Structure 1
């Protein structure tokens, strides 16, 4: 099974190459290869998740070069969960893009899509900070092309800003790696954890500076205040289906904080992250209320819900981390669902785009209203869906923190704001009818199959809710594994010479 750990990285690379060959002729073959590879990827990641849940941390050294000198891929419960989440979301988005002909608005959608998966899966599996930087760049380069897919002045403007912000982030990433390597002499995460514990006193300052700078880069990727301003315009400017895939990208930053914080830096950034996450939550849901277009609503909702996740992560405590891990797939799927519903609204009502205004009735309106209600309940964290359970876990775990009053007040207050915003948007879009504009003489019935990917994501939320007991147990075990630094080091690094004797 150890060699299978490399499959989530290799499979998208091969699929991207094959689909690229059919970009001009027989493009349906390229689309079929991409969707088939993504479905196969989902099956492989489920197998890896089963393997991770039954054993400990597993490491695979590419080329048989042992750590810390070679490239090592590390699979544990956290990485396996992120792989399954990514592949399931990618399958829904790729099918949606094919059904709605989004993939035919440019030549390279499916190759870029697969390279995006390559970068995401590599970031979740790598055990080395430099390779984490490399996979970050792979997924960012692919995201540049996907952001601009379909063209348009709005996407070009958002794309330029997105590129500039991420180039700055990449530069800071390299500076942080240089500082950490200069102090510890390694970039392997397990090896750095060992060496950080025995640094001389004179090197502690540089090590902390490198760690804080690296955490700031991850906070930029996760859109944490004050580094969040790039996200609303970029995600609102992209095609909604592309933005649905991008819902996982903020979680890459959160994942990197979860991975490196307890392992290397002992949660040193937590005291700065908690107020930043609470401020991000407030700004995100205020923007959620003020938005006048569905794409902006979904983008600000993603910021606010990711901030709830980061609030729990920033406590760097085992029970809070378990609540954060349960909430992580929920917020990703709920935001992606809202983006796919936005795309259906744009396509099916045929006027006013995604503006939150009343329009004449149109076929499929009732179905969209039901999907929007479910997506709104999920994103706001209301019962009976899994967001309510995730918030309860986070609120309960925060009681041991000195920040618990602020955390309770902000989470409960922003939940109320989210309910008001979603009620306003839903009533305007699906309950009110504007009869002033003459309705079209003929309007073809929508293709109801286009709603299947959104239904798939909703089914995932239902499964996450129905299986709350086993899922919570898995996340608690994953949380224990995250804080078991010694176990991670033993799994990745070879035993020292003479250890057997």
Structure 2
């Protein structure tokens, strides 16, 4: 009896940990919403909530499923690694809100999205997960159209249009995903011989659904619009939390329905070709981008294409490269967008003037932008190098044409980053020129006071340096993460079936 009591007590504790991960950030989001006028207090509350969630996630036993209200909840090593990463990056973004532009309700919305993403990673029901992904998209819309904090300006019409476009596409993605999962329930392998297999149609629905969420070309317009018209911190949360969690849901779909991959060699080849085109076109478009924001958006599209290619390869090497690439993307994108927010801060120079000396003017932010771009491209010794190596090896197994296409995409992405850096970062100093001599009858009091250029905010600069060091350390010492990812990939049922 005592043993049964202990088992029930342990099960109850696990239930409570799962529920805390989902509902505790919602309660703290409500508190942060009440305190939103006092940004310092709201940020402090949110940071405490994020640290508490990290401690809770670390206490949950791995691969110990439990049921709550008929729904299975579990946490494997891969999902816990990404959950801790999401929580840490959300904490970094909340810290960045001290000095970087954001909306009045950015902090409570971030906590709300964290709750939804934790639920996505814990739940094993594809139907509920689909609905949660749709809800995360709606939460992101709230952050996009949020009123800017500390100013009297309203949300721009282009930002509202970008939010509406994103909402419509995310609802469409969730609808296609839901239809695909409904069809998997009625699909029976071997039925209707000689006709088009239903598994082809299901895989096509899933591919289009996740291509919409990951902004693969030609479904990329929403990401470019967000990059141009939304606050960088909001875009960082959308890409790091929502897009990466979508990749993990796709892995869950393959794990739940491995039969979709067994007789779909042709459709998987089409998915690989589509991701190749997305990577090549995204990298090529970065060469002709008219603004720094657009150039960075196309580099992110290139990286999404590379990651999706690793998933579509359905091999141990390709999946390990895709998961490692998704992890690197979350870090690199946050580093890129935090650096971009710093570079766009007013510094005392005339507004609206194109500046070409951003690395000289903002050395930490400029270095962070360059490092984030190089990490996305996969240049050693940054974190993306190991991901690219694994994906290149997976492509070599499929044929030299696909490998050459990936290498060409990487070359174009490098040229696009070099062009953006040459135009905006590496130009000559644009500091004020030496004062001209006094004219006849003029005194120093007659001249306007000299402009003082604002320095980089120390806390935001320190945040940028920390992110840069994390990217560098992962690139130099990828072994521990790669071992965890490789072990999780080898446990997937569809890998063993193939």
Tell whether 2:252 aligns with 1:246: no
For residues 1-47 of structure 1, the C-alpha deviation after alignment (integer angstroms, 9 at most, x for no partner) is 733344432232221122223234x4433222112112222343345
User: Does residue 388 of structure 2 align to residue 391 of structure 1?
Assistant: yes
The yes-or-no answer on 1:217 pairing with 2:230 is: no
SS of 1:58's equivalent in the other structure is coil
Q: Whole-Å Cα distance in 1 between the matches of residues 76 and 303 of structure 2?
A: 25
Query: Which of 456, 463, 473 lines up with 2:466 in the alignment?
Result: 456
SS at match of 1:313: helix
Q: 1:417 is matched with which residue: 412, 415, 418?
A: 412
SS of residue in 2 equivalent to 1:35: helix
Question: Displacement of 1:348 after TM fit?
Answer: 5.0
Q: Equivalent residue for 1:17?
A: 30
**Residue 59 of structure 1 is aligned with which of 61, 65, 76?**
65
- 1:80 maps to 2:93: no
Which of these two proteins has the greater Rg computed from alpha carbons?
A: 2
Preserved contact between residue 235 and residue 299 of structure 1 (Cα < 8 Å): yes
Match of 1:187 in 2: none
Query: For 2:36, what is the secondary structure of its paired residue?
Result: coil
Segment drifting more, 83-92 vs 338-347: 83-92
- Which of the numbers 274, 277, 285 marks the counterpart of 2:275? 277
TM-score by length of 2: 0.83
Count of matched residue positions in the alignment of Structure 1 and Structure 2: 455
Deviation per CA, 1:202-251: give whole Å up to 9, x if none. 89944553443233212211122332232211233210111111222222
In structure 1, what is the Cα distance between the partners aligned to 2:55 and 2:331?
A: 18
Provide, for residues 140-194 of structure 1, a one-character-per-residue CA deviation record: whole Å limited to 9, x for no partner.
Answer: 111001112232222112112212222322333343344344x16xxxxxxxxxx
Residue 385 of structure 1, CA deviation: 1.1
CA distance in 1, matches of 2:382, 2:234: 25
Q: What is the match of residue 428 of structure 2?
A: 433
Distance 1:46 1:458 in 2: 25
C-alpha separation between the residues in 2 aligned to 1:291 and 1:45? Answer: 41
Cα 1:438–1:256 change in 2 (3 A) is farther
Q: 1:271-350, aligned counterparts within 5 Å?
A: 271-347=269-345, 349=347
Residue of structure 2 aligned with 1:377, choices 371, 374, 378: 374
**Which residue in 2 is equivalent to 1:42?**
54
For the aligned residue pairs, the C-alpha RMSD in angstroms reads 2.9
Between 1:364-373 and 1:327-336, the stretch displaced more is: 364-373
Where 1:311 maps in the other structure, the secondary structure is helix
Matched, 1:258 2:241: no
2:135 aligns with 138
CA distance in 2, matches of 1:80, 1:167: 27
Distance 1:58 1:287 in 2: 46
Structure 1's 420 and 450: CA in aligned 2 closer, same or farther, altered over 3 A?
Answer: same
Q: What pairs up with 1:147-226 in 2 under 5 angstroms?
A: 147-149=144-146, 150=148, 151-181=155-185, 183=186, 200-201=191-192, 205-206=197-198, 208-226=200-218
Q: Which ranges in structure 1 are unaligned for 5 or more consecutive residues?
A: 64-69, 185-195, 488-501
* C-alpha deviation, 1:118, in angstroms: 1.5
What SS does the aligned partner of 1:61 have? strand
Q: Secondary structure at the match of 1:72?
A: strand
Cα drift, residue 343 of structure 1: 0.5
Aligned residues of 2:28 and 2:45 also touching (Cα < 8 A) = yes
Q: Residue 320 of structure 1: CA displacement?
A: 1.8
CA displacement at 1:311 relative to structure 2: 0.6
Conserved 8 A contact 1:31-1:110: yes
Matched residue, 1:495:
none
Check whether the contact 1:93–1:453 (CA below 8 A) recurs between aligned residues: no
Note the C-alpha offset of 1:359. Answer: 4.5
CA distance in 2, matches of 1:330, 1:161: 27
Mapped partners of 1:211, 1:353: distance in 2: 50
C-alpha distance in structure 2 between counterparts of 1:204 and 1:80, whole Å: 39
Unaligned runs of 5+ in 2: 1-12, 149-154, 435-449
Judged with a 3 Å threshold, the aligned counterparts in structure 2 of structure 1 residues 405 and 6 are, in CA distance, closer, same or farther, namely: farther
Query: Counterpart of 2:92?
Result: 92
Q: C-alpha distance in 2, partners of 1:407/1:353?
A: 46
Residue 14 of structure 2 aligns with which residue? 2
Q: Distance in 2 between matches of 1:368 and 1:348?
A: 14
Whole-angstrom distance in 2 between the partners of 1:420 and 1:27 = 40
